[in-house]
Amino acid sequence: MSPAFAAGQRIAALGSVRHVGIVTDETVGRLHAESLESALGAAGLASSRITVPPGETSKSFSMFAEVCDGLLAAKIERKDVVVALGGGVVGDLAGFAAATLRRGVRLVQVPTTLLAQIDSSVGGKTGINARHGTNLVGACHQPALVLADTAVIDTLPLRERKAGYAEVLKYGLINDPGFFEWCERHGEAAMAGGAERDHAVRVSCAAKTAIVLSDEHEHGERALLNLGHTFAHAIERIVAYDNSRIVHGEAVSIGLALAFRFSARLGLCPGQDTVRVLRHLARMGMPTTLADVPGGVGSADTMLDAMAQDKKVSAGQLTFTADVLDFLATEISGA
């Protein structure tokens, strides 16, 4: 049974589905939408396709309205299904539309990037970006089904495959030293595909699922999943979500490196651990400094201002100490 045909059968098996609204982007749609539509048709399901431009800028109020209008025009009902066919941007955007359309329509995630397969498609976070920052408008809406075909990753450019690796590594860094050691030994093989990649996807999904089950709405343990992301989201905001300058996974890689260097500076992380993390990221060809952002990020104050709008701010305060401004100034100067 082909992966596409299996998707049609699995979605039909959810029950009471009459019509499927497929949300995808122009790039993924050209590669995979027709096979999914054929599989849905073979399973007795009608489908309609809503296509958005690729890239982070599609996570906007205007595109959210366009997707919702498209789904309503297709007469997607509450017992129907919205399918997010694409990477993290499509998953977040389509997921938020599903969460709000008719006050909640079932969502199926069909992630087509490594990053989406091991992170954003699992856990139920959906949303769009606002002028003030990343993912500031959204909802928790758990998918009824996640279908990840790891072979699809082979269609991605090397840059996208490498960018997704930062999120894989994160799971080893937050609570699984054994998996981090596995990454040190098998990271290159995992990026090449095959059994190592499948293992990395399985471990990452299991790790995120366990954390989400214990803390769905991020009141405690789930905050671990944000490792490096306060820095990363600030970088993305500063570059105006321009994927030609930096993609999300690259920003996360820099964010991880900054988080470990900052922790070492505060005496909260052994220096040798920071060296291991930085060495591994560099070996995998990942960016690790603010100087790696094309065009730069401006001043330390610019970074701090971008960080101040992060969704993890509480009582008007970042979950960092005041030392962060001096740290950022040092990082930007390269001293």
Residue 39, C-beta contacts closer than 8 angstroms, at least 6 positions apart: 2, 4, 5, 6, 7, 8, 9
Residue 39 has pLDDT above 70, yes or no: yes
Residue 293, C-beta contacts closer than 8 angstroms, at least 6 positions apart: 235, 238, 239, 245, 246, 254, 287
Residue 316 has pLDDT above 60, yes or no: no
Give the mean pLDDT of 201-224.
85
The tens digit of pLDDT for each residue in 268-297 reads 899 999 999 999 999 999 999 999 999 999
User: What is the rounded CA–CA span in Å between residue 316 and residue 122?
Assistant: 29
Active site residue 160: no
The active-site residue, picked from 170, 229, 261, 280, is 229
The active-site residue, picked from 32, 125, 162, 280, is 125
Instruction: Give the up-direction half-sphere exposure of residue 34: CA atoms within 13 A in the CB hemisphere.
Output: 3
Active site residue 34: no
The tens digit of pLDDT for each residue in 10-38 reads 999 999 999 999 999 999 999 999 999 99
- Give the per-residue pLDDT at 1: 42
The active-site residue, picked from 32, 59, 208, 280, is 208
Active site residue 283: no
Residue 40 has pLDDT above 60, yes or no: yes
Active site residue 125: yes
Active site residue 218: yes
The active-site residue, picked from 141, 161, 233, 280, is 233
Domains of the chain and any CATH numbers: 3-152 (3.40.50.1970), 157-333 (1.20.1090.10)
Active site residue 245: no
- Give the per-residue pLDDT at 319: 59
Active site residue 229: yes
Active site residue 233: yes
Active site residue 59: no
Active site residue 37: no
The active-site residue, picked from 222, 261, 280, 311, is 222
Residue 217 has pLDDT above 80, yes or no: no
